[in-house]
Structure 1
C-alpha cells in the first residue's frame, strides 16, 4: 500500500517498498540470533528518508486540498475545470503566466497565478497573492461592457488542471500546485495595444484610428468609474485588441472599488511613466489618477512612441512631480487633441476632466481631414521626431 492511501482514521500508511526493505533486512539476519540496537540503527540509515518525506508531503497536500474543497462553499464565479483545456503560454508576468486555452468550446485566456507553492515565497507573500486574486475576481466578474475584457470564470484550486510542460514527461503535461488559482477571460487575438503601437512605430496611425482607439479606452474607463472602480494601472500594456482592432481594458490585478474618502486610497500603485503626481508622492488619490494615465496613453497612441525614452524611472518620477514633466507633443498634433491631453495630465487632479467628459471631447473631434502623423516615406507631413524614438 503506497502513501496515496490511508486507513479508516485518515492516517497515512507506510509504502510497500519500506516493507520490502524490512523483509530484506530480516532475511539477511536469519540464523544470527537476536538483533542488536546497533545493527538496527545502521540498517535504518539505509532507508531513503528523502523519498519518504517527498511522498508524505505529496500525500498530505492531497489530503489538505481534498478536505478544503469538501468543506468550502464554491463561489458563483468558480468554473468546472474538466471543461478547460490549456494550450500554449502567451505571456509571462511577475506573479504568473497567461495561457491560451479552450473552455466550454470558446477560446479563452487563462491567467495562472503562482501562490508561492515553489517553497520560496513567504507566508505573507502567498497571502497577498491570494488576496490579490480574490480582489481581481471580485472586481472583474461584475463588469459588462464592450470595451472591457469579458470575464468567464475562475478557480480557487487547480489540482486537476494540466498545462503543457516545457520539458514534456511521459504524458506531455505537468500538474500545478493544488492551491494555485486561475482567472479565465475571453481570448483576444490582437495582442496588447503596446505591441500594436510598436509595430506601427515608423509608419504611425491614421488620425481616425487614433481617435477610435482613444474612444474605446475612454469609454471603458468611463464605465469603470461609473461602477466606482479605479483601475490604477492604466497603460498600453494592459489594453487588448480583438480581431477588428476594438480595444478592451484588461488586467484588474490592482483595481479596487473607489473609497468614499480619498485618504483611504494611498500608496504608489501603478507603472512609472503613467502614474499621476499625487500617486508618485504617496498622497491620497481618486479615480482621476486613471484620467492622468489615460492622457499619457493618448499621447502614446498618437505618436506610436514611448514617453521619456532617455530618462531613468527615478528621473521620470522626480521630474513629473517637481518639474511638471510631460511628453513632448508633436507640432502637427491637432489642437483639439492637444487640449484633451493637457487637461487629462494636469498636475492638479481637481482640474482634470471626468472620463465621461473626455469621451464627449473625443467624439467632437473631426477626423475627416486627417491630423495624424504622416508616414515617413511621404514628402510632406509631420517630422516632429528626428531621429525616430520608440520602444
Structure 2
C-alpha cells in the first residue's frame, strides 16, 4: 500500500472522529437545553396569550404586561427586611422569539430585587409569569421604576427597554432611612466613631456614626445584636433609641439628644452652687431607676459612671431629669450564666468594683458598686479620686481592691453617706439592691 493511500485513510478516520465529536456535542447541548427547559417548566408558567383570560396592557414594541404598576404588599404596610413576593405576567406579541429579563434601573441601597425566572426566552404569542421578590431594607416609602429588558433572537439582536413602576410603604421599624436624618454639627468623638447633633422626623437627635464597622463581620453582628437589644428598651429613665442605619458606609445609631450633655459635662462646666442639692438627689434617683429597669430585664450595664447619665433638664418638679445611656459595653446576660470575667481595658478604673479589678465574675452588684462612686461624685460635685491623691490609674485600682474608699465621703450628709456605704461594700453579696437605693433616696427627697 502506497503512502498516499495511508494518508487518505488517516484523513478519513480523523474526519469521522471530528463528525462523531460534533454530533456528541450537539446531542449533549440538546439534552442539557431540554433538561433546563423541563426544570424551568417546573418553576415557570409559560402560556399562550390567546388562550388566557388575563387582560394585558401594551408597553409597545410587542411587549405586553398585565400591570404597569406593582403595589408591594397590596397596599398594606410592608415588614422591613422581609422578602415580599409579587407576580407579574409579561408577554411577547411579535412573531420572533425574545429573551426577556426584569431588572432594577440601578443599584439601590434601600431595597433589593430578584426575579424568577431571572431571564427567559418567550416565543411569539406566548407570555410568562414572573415572580418578583422585593426586600426593603429600612423604614421608607418606595416609588421606583423597574426595567423590562427584551432582546430579539434574530441577526439584529435588537434590545428594547420598557419600564413599570413599583411602590410601597413599610411599617415603622428601628432600621432607619438615611435620607430622613439631617446632620448638623459634630459634638463629640470616641473610639467607636463620631457623634453629631441632627434632626430626625422633627426631633433633635444625637447621631453616633460608627467607624469602619461594615468592613468587620463580627463587629457588624455585635452592632445588630446591640440594636435588637436597644429596640426592646422602653423606659423614661433610658435615653430614647430611635433606631439605626444599616446601609454600608452610612452605619449610625440615632438616639434622643440631651442638651445639657452628661452629668460629667455638667460637673466640668458648672459649680456646685449652680446645681442645687435637690436636683442632684433627683439625678441620683433617676439614674437608679434607669439601672433598675436594666436589672429587672436581666441586663448588666458594665460601665456606670457620670459620663453615661445624660441630663435632659435641670428644672425642679420635672418628671425625669436624667437618663441612662451607652450600652456599648452592656451584655444581655442570662442571670444563670453571669460568668463574664473582667478584661483589661474595658471601663474606667475609678468606677470599677473590687471584684472586677480582681478579674472575678461581673454581676449586678458590680453595677451597684459603680453607682456608689457615681452618687458620691454627684452629691459632692467633685472627683472622688483626684489626681493630687491618686496620680496613676493603678493607685485608684489598689485603693479599691484593698478595701479602702475615697476620703471625701466624710463630707457627705449622714443619710446619703449611709446609702453610698451600703452600695460600696467590699463583698458583693453585702451590697444593697438598686430598688433599696431608690427607696432610700426617695425618702431623702421627700424630706427636702
- Could you tell me the TM-score, scaled by structure 1's length? 0.66
**1:347 paired residue number:** 426
Residues 99, 111 of structure 1: 8 Å contact kept? yes
Residues 1:222 and 2:282 are matched in the alignment: no
**2:359 paired residue number:** 282
Could you tell me how far apart the structure 2 residues matched to 1:202 and 1:272 are? 24
Q: Describe the shift of the 1:82–1:198 C-alpha distance in structure 2 as closer, same or farther (beyond 3 A).
A: same
Could you tell me how far apart the structure 2 residues matched to 1:108 and 1:236 are? 20
1:226-375 correspondence runs (5 A): 226-244=296-314, 246-268=321-343, 269-310=346-387, 311=390, 312-321=392-401, 323-365=402-444, 368=447
Counterpart pick for 2:203 among 70, 92, 106: 106
Shift of the alpha carbon at 1:318? Answer: 2.3
Residues 110, 177 of structure 2: 8 Å contact kept? no
Shift of the alpha carbon at 1:297? Answer: 0.4
Residues 376, 409 of structure 2: 8 Å contact kept? no
Superposed CA RMSD in Å reads 2.5
- Structure number with the higher strand fraction is 2
Residues 132, 254 of structure 1: 8 Å contact kept? no
Q: Describe the shift of the 1:116–1:137 C-alpha distance in structure 2 as closer, same or farther (beyond 3 A).
A: closer
Residues 207, 367 of structure 1: 8 Å contact kept? no
- Gaps (5+ residues) in structure 2? 1-105, 115-134, 139-172, 316-320
**2:82 paired residue number:** none
**2:219 paired residue number:** 129
Residues 135, 256 of structure 1: 8 Å contact kept? no
Residues 205, 304 of structure 1: 8 Å contact kept? no
Could you tell me how far apart the structure 2 residues matched to 1:353 and 1:318 are? 23
Shift of the alpha carbon at 1:331? Answer: 3.7
User: What per-residue deviation string (whole Å, max 9, x for no partner) do you get for residues 326-366 of structure 1?
Assistant: 22234442211111101111111111111111101111115
Could you tell me how far apart the structure 2 residues matched to 1:281 and 1:262 are? 19
**2:33 paired residue number:** none
Q: Describe the shift of the 1:302–1:244 C-alpha distance in structure 2 as closer, same or farther (beyond 3 A).
A: closer
User: What per-residue deviation string (whole Å, max 9, x for no partner) do you get for residues 41-80 of structure 1?
Assistant: xxxxxxxxxxxxxxxxxxxxxx999599668774742012
Counterpart pick for 1:152 among 233, 242, 256: 242
Could you tell me how far apart the structure 1 residues matched to 2:443 and 2:404 are? 28
User: What per-residue deviation string (whole Å, max 9, x for no partner) do you get for residues 365-390 of structure 1?
Assistant: 15656xxxxxxxxxxxxxxxxxxxxx
Shift of the alpha carbon at 1:206? Answer: 2.8
User: What per-residue deviation string (whole Å, max 9, x for no partner) do you get for residues 278-337 of structure 1?
Assistant: 11122112122111111000000011111211221122112211x213222344422111
Residues 377, 384 of structure 2: 8 Å contact kept? yes
1:79-98 correspondence runs (5 A): 79-98=176-195
Q: Whose RCO is larger (CA < 8 A, sep 6+)?
A: 1
Could you tell me how far apart the structure 2 residues matched to 1:233 and 1:92 are? 18
**1:37 paired residue number:** none
Shift of the alpha carbon at 1:136? Answer: 2.5
Shift of the alpha carbon at 1:138? Answer: 2.2
Q: Describe the shift of the 1:183–1:226 C-alpha distance in structure 2 as closer, same or farther (beyond 3 A).
A: same
User: What per-residue deviation string (whole Å, max 9, x for no partner) do you get for residues 62-109 of structure 1?
Assistant: x99959966877474201222111110111111101111111121111
Could you tell me how far apart the structure 2 residues matched to 1:266 and 1:186 are? 32
Aligned residues: 279
Shift of the alpha carbon at 1:210? Answer: 2.1
Could you tell me how far apart the structure 1 residues matched to 2:384 and 2:108 are? 47
Shift of the alpha carbon at 1:179? Answer: 4.0
SS in 2 for 1:265: coil
Residues 265, 285 of structure 1: 8 Å contact kept? yes
